[in-house]
Structure 1
Amino acid sequence: MPISVKTDSITEAWRTLENSIIFYRKRPIGTVAARDCQRAALNYDQCFVRDFITSGLLFLTQGKTEIVRNFLIETLALQSHEKQMDFFKPGPGLMPASFKVDIVDGKQVLIADFGEHAIARVPPVDSCLWWIILLRAYVKATKDISLAYQPEFQQGIKLILDFCLVHRFAMYPTMLVPDGAFMIDRRMGVYGNPLEIQVLFYAALVAASELLLPDDSGVHLDTINRRLAALEYHVKEYYWIDINRLNEIYRYQGEEFGKEVANKFNIYPESIPNWLTEWLPETGGYLAGNLGPSQLDFRFFALGNLMAILVSLASEEESQKIMNLVEQRWDDLIGSMPMKICFPALEGLEWKIVTGSDPKNRAWSYHNGGNWPVLLWLLVAAALKTGRVELANKAIDVAQSRLSQDEWPEYYDGKNGRLIGKEARKYQTWTISGFLMAKELVANPAHLNLISFEKDPDMITCVN
C-alpha cells in the first residue's frame, strides 16, 4: 500500500479519536465507545472503563495527561462504597462498567452503570483491575506519584483490594468470577477462574504494591505479597500447556486423594480435545483459558496470554513459546485481522449448551472466535517485549491494510476474520486507539514501560 494512504489513515484515526472525547464541565474525561451513525447508540455513546484503557495509554504516549488524570479522578468518585452486593447494588470497591454525562436540573452529572443495564446484569470485575493498571501507567508517564498518594486514591485502591481479596468459598489463590464479568461479557463457559481475570488480578496486585503508602498495620501490603507468590505459582503450575505438559495430563490417574498427588484438580485425560494434539506446535505453549474441579479449558484466549507476557507472569521461556504459537499458528490466530479473541470456536451442540444458543456468539463470531482489532496493540507490545519485532510489524501491516477502508469496526467474523462483524459498530474507539497505540509502540518502544512489569527478584516463590 502506498505510504500516503497509510499516512491518511493515521490522520483519520487521530481525528476520529479526538472527536470521540467526552467532556464534563468543560474538562475531557474519557472517550465514547463508538461513533457509528448507522446503528442505534444503545450504550456505545458511553465511556467504558475497559475501553478507555487503550485510549488512556495512547494519550499518555502523546503527553496528553490531563484527560487520563480527569478520568482517574472521576471514575474514583463513581466507585461503589456500598457495604454489600445485594438487591442490584454493587459491592464496595467495584468500578462502573461505563458512565455517561447527563443533564439533571440543568446541571451536568455523571451516571454510572455497574452492570444494571448489561446483558444478564453481570457486574464488571475487570474495571477496577484495569483502573489500578492505568493509574500506575499515569504515574510512570508523569512521575506524579502525589496523585496516587492522595487519601481518596489510597482508599480507592484499598477498597479494590478488599473487594478482590475477600474470603470466598474457594481454596485457590485465583479470583472466582461468573460468566460475563470481563471483556467476554456474554455466556461463553468461562465461569470460575478465567485466565484473563487472573492475569489482570496479578497485574493489579503488583501495581497496588507500587502505589500504596505503607501504613501502620501494613496489612494490605503483606496480604498482596502473600497472594502474589501463591497466585504466580498457581497459574504457572496449573494453567500452562505445552507438549510436555499435555503428555503429563494424558497419563494422569483420576480419582486421586490426598495432598501430594499429581492430578490435584482431577482432570480426566479424556477431556483433552482432539484438535489440540495436532494444533499445539512442538516449540509452542500457552496458558489455558480456565481451571476448576475436573475442568481445564484448553481454549487459547489472547488477552490473558498477551498480558501474561507484559506483566511478567509468564517466564521468559514461556513468553517465547506463546509467541512461537502465534507465529506458527498465524492463520488461525491472526488470519486477515489481528487478533482472534479465543481459539477454537464453540460449534454445534457444544455451542448450544455452553452459550445458551446465543445468536451473537455463533461460531467464529463476536466473542466465540471473532477477531478483535483492539488486541493488535497487546500483540505488538508482547512481540516487542519478547524481541519479536518482525511479528509486530507483520501484524500492523495486516491491520492497516483494512481497518480504515472498513471504517474501524469493533470486530470481524469468520474463521480467518475476513468478514466485518455482523453486529459490529463502526468507528469503534478502542479499535482506533489500539491501532494507533501499536504504531506508537513500534515507533518508540520506550512506551512499553507504561504497561510492562518486570519481575521482582525479591518475590518469594510459593510452593504448594
Structure 2
Amino acid sequence: MDGTKGHGLRNVASHCSISDMDDYDISKLLEKPRLNIERQRSFDERSLSELTISLARGLDSYEPSYSPGARSGRSGFDTPASSARNSFEPHPMVADAWEALRRSLVYFRGQPVGTLAACDHASEEVLNYDQVFVRDFVPSALAFLINGEADIVKNFLLKTLLLQGWEKRVDRFKLGEGAMPASFKVLHDPDRKTDTIVADFGESAIGRVAPVDSGFWWIILLRAYTKATGDLSLAETPDCQKGMRLILALCLSEGFDTFPTLLCADGCSMIDRRMGIYGYPIEIQALFFMALRCALSMLKHDQEGKEFVERIMKRLHALSYHMRNYFWLDFQQLNDIYRYKTEEYSHTAVNKFNVIPDSIPDWVFDFMPTRGGYFIGNVSPARMDFRWFALGNCIAILSSLATPEQSAAIMDLIEARWEELVGEMPLKICYPAIESHEWRIVTGCDPKNTRWSYHNGGSWPGVVYIS
C-alpha cells in the first residue's frame, strides 16, 4: 500500500476532531485552541477528495466551494470557484454527485426541507426510501453547508423540531417528549394545492423500532450549521433550546440506563434487522458522546440550561472513561484478554465482564497489527463483539472520544489492514461479515444482509464523508 494514504488519514484524524480534550479535564474543552493542520495531498488526488476535506474544515471554518447546477439566487453565499481560496477543477464525479443530490431535494410549501433517502427509479416498490431520514440527510446537509446553501439545512432543522412536538405513539406505546422522528414524508395535494407532512417515529418502520440516533444527529447538525454560518441566533431561540433539553432529558434520565453508556434496543440504532448489537454498540456511544459535546457548547447557561450542563459534564467524564478503557482493543489488550482469569469477584477484578478467553474469534489474531487498535463493537457480560465498525470508530475520532493516541492507532489499523477494510471501494461499515449458520441466527436469514452486503460488511455512502 502507498504509505501516503496512512499519513493523510492520520492528519485528517487530527484535524477532524471537534476540539482536542484532556483525558479527564472536560471542563476546559471550550477554552482550548483548535489545531489547524493542513493535509498534504498529491495533485491527482486533490479534485476527488476536495469535498471530503472541505467537510472536515466545515465544522471549524466556513468556505463555500464549487457546486455544479446550483440555482442562481438560491443562496447569498455562492462563491465562484475561481475566487475560492482552494479553487480547483472539479472531477466529473463531483458534478454528477451534485446533480443527483439536487434531484433528491424535497420541498414543503415551496421551500427545500431535506433530501430523499434514495432515488431508485428502476424499482416500483420504494418502501420508505422516498422519505427524508434524519440520519441520511446529515451528509447532504454538510455538503450544502460547505457550498453556502445554509437555508436548506435551517429549514430541515426547524421542520424536524416542529415534528418533535407531536404526540408520538408506537403500537399504542407513547414515546418520550424528546424523541425525534426517524423520517418524514411530504404529501402534495395538487387539487387543493396543499402540502402535508407525515412523520414516522418508528410506528411504520421495519421491526417497529423507535430511533435512538435521530435526536443526536439533530443536535450535531445544529452545531454544524452554527459553526458553518456563524449564525448563533438559531441555536439560541427558545424552541431550539427546548428541543435540545427534551432530547437530553430523554437520554440522560436515570431510568433510561444505569451505566454511563446508552442502552439501545436491538435494531434501533443504525439497522432494521437483528445484527446482534443489542446493548451498547460503539456507533451509538460515539454519537451520544458527540451530541453531548455539541449540546454543551450551545446550551444557554440560564437556570434550566445550567442543570443540563452539569449533567452533561458528569456523563462525559463517565462515558469517556468507560469507552476508552473497556471498549478499546489493541495488540497489548488482546494479549491481556487472552490471559484473563475468569469468575473474578470484587472491585480488584481485572476481568470485570467475565470474558472467557476461548470466546475470542480466531480472525482477531490475524487482523490485529502490532501497531494500531480500534474500539470494538460492543461489551456485555461474558461477551465482547470484536468486530470492527467504521462509523463508530470514525465518529470517536471526530468527537475526541478517542484520545490522540487512540485516534492515531485507529488510522494505523486502517493503513495496516487497507485491503481488508477498504480495498477498491469505500470503507467497509463492518468487518468481518458474518455468514453461514451465524448469519441465519443473528440476522434472521435476512437476504438484504447476506455477507459483504448492506450492513453485514458492506459499505454505506455516508461512511465516505466520515472517513
Q: Please tell me the TM-score bracket, short chain as reference.
A: 0.7 to 0.9
Residue number in structure 2 paired with 1:434: none
Alignment partners' CA distance in 2, 1:269 and 1:85 = 41
**Deviating more after overlay: 128-137 vs 161-170:** 161-170
Alignment partners' CA distance in 1, 2:257 and 2:353 = 13
Return the letter of the residue paired with 2:99: R
Structure 1 residue 86, shift from structure 2 partner: 6.9
**Is 1:293 aligned to 2:381, yes or no?**
yes
Residue number in structure 2 paired with 1:90: 175
Residue number in structure 1 paired with 2:115: 31
| 1:59 pairs with one of 117, 136, 144 | 144
Unaligned 5+ runs, structure 1:
380-464
Instruction: Summarize the alignment of residues 136-215 of structure 1 with structure 2, pairs less than 5 Å apart.
Output: 136-168=223-255, 170-215=257-302
**Is 1:132 aligned to 2:219, yes or no?**
yes
Given that 2:170 and 2:203 are in contact with CA atoms closer than 8 Å, whether structure 1 keeps it comes out as: no
Given that 2:372 and 2:409 are in contact with CA atoms closer than 8 Å, whether structure 1 keeps it comes out as: yes
Return the letter of the residue paired with 2:436: G
Structure 1 residue 234, shift from structure 2 partner: 0.2
- Deviation per CA, 1:398-419, whole angstroms, max 9, x where unpaired? xxxxxxxxxxxxxxxxxxxxxx
| 1:225 pairs with one of 302, 313, 316 | 313
**Percent identity of the aligned residues?**
52
Distance of aligned partners of 1:83 and 1:50 in 2 relative to their CA distance in 1, 3 Å threshold: closer
TM-score norm. by structure 1 comes to 0.78
Aligned residues: 379
Given that 1:22 and 1:31 are in contact with CA atoms closer than 8 Å, whether structure 2 keeps it comes out as: yes
Alignment partners' CA distance in 1, 2:248 and 2:287 = 13
Alignment partners' CA distance in 2, 1:129 and 1:185 = 18
Residue number in structure 2 paired with 1:409: none
Given that 1:81 and 1:93 are in contact with CA atoms closer than 8 Å, whether structure 2 keeps it comes out as: no
Alignment partners' CA distance in 1, 2:187 and 2:427 = 35
Structure 1 residue 351, shift from structure 2 partner: 1.2
Residue number in structure 2 paired with 1:312: 400
- Deviation per CA, 1:1-53, whole angstroms, max 9, x where unpaired? 99999733222221111111111111111011112110122211111100100
Alignment partners' CA distance in 1, 2:311 and 2:103 = 43
Alignment partners' CA distance in 1, 2:449 and 2:171 = 29
| 1:254 pairs with one of 326, 333, 342 | 342
Alignment partners' CA distance in 1, 2:322 and 2:379 = 10
SS of structure 2 residue aligned to 1:300: strand
Alignment partners' CA distance in 2, 1:80 and 1:176 = 24
RMSD value over aligned CA atoms? 2.1
Given that 1:337 and 1:372 are in contact with CA atoms closer than 8 Å, whether structure 2 keeps it comes out as: no
Return the letter of the residue paired with 2:114: G
Structure 1 residue 373, shift from structure 2 partner: 3.1
Alignment partners' CA distance in 1, 2:451 and 2:301 = 49
- Deviation per CA, 1:266-312, whole angstroms, max 9, x where unpaired? 11111111010111000010000011111210000000001111111
Given that 1:255 and 1:266 are in contact with CA atoms closer than 8 Å, whether structure 2 keeps it comes out as: yes
Alignment partners' CA distance in 2, 1:46 and 1:88 = 23
Return the letter of the residue paired with 1:317: E
**Is 1:330 aligned to 2:418, yes or no?**
yes
Given that 2:171 and 2:203 are in contact with CA atoms closer than 8 Å, whether structure 1 keeps it comes out as: no
Unaligned 5+ runs, structure 2:
1-43, 49-88
SS of structure 2 residue aligned to 1:209: helix
Given that 1:32 and 1:47 are in contact with CA atoms closer than 8 Å, whether structure 2 keeps it comes out as: yes
Distance of aligned partners of 1:49 and 1:94 in 2 relative to their CA distance in 1, 3 Å threshold: same
TM-score norm. by structure 2 comes to 0.78
Higher relative contact order (CA 8 A, sep 6+): 1
SS of structure 2 residue aligned to 1:193: coil
Given that 2:170 and 2:201 are in contact with CA atoms closer than 8 Å, whether structure 1 keeps it comes out as: no
Structure 1 residue 182, shift from structure 2 partner: 2.1
Return the letter of the residue paired with 2:157: L
SS of structure 1 residue aligned to 2:112: strand
- Deviation per CA, 1:192-236, whole angstroms, max 9, x where unpaired? 000000000001110111110012252111100000000000000
SS of structure 2 residue aligned to 1:93: coil
Which consecutive segments of 4 or more residues in structure 1 shift more than 6 A?
A: 1-6, 83-86
Return the letter of the residue paired with 1:206: R
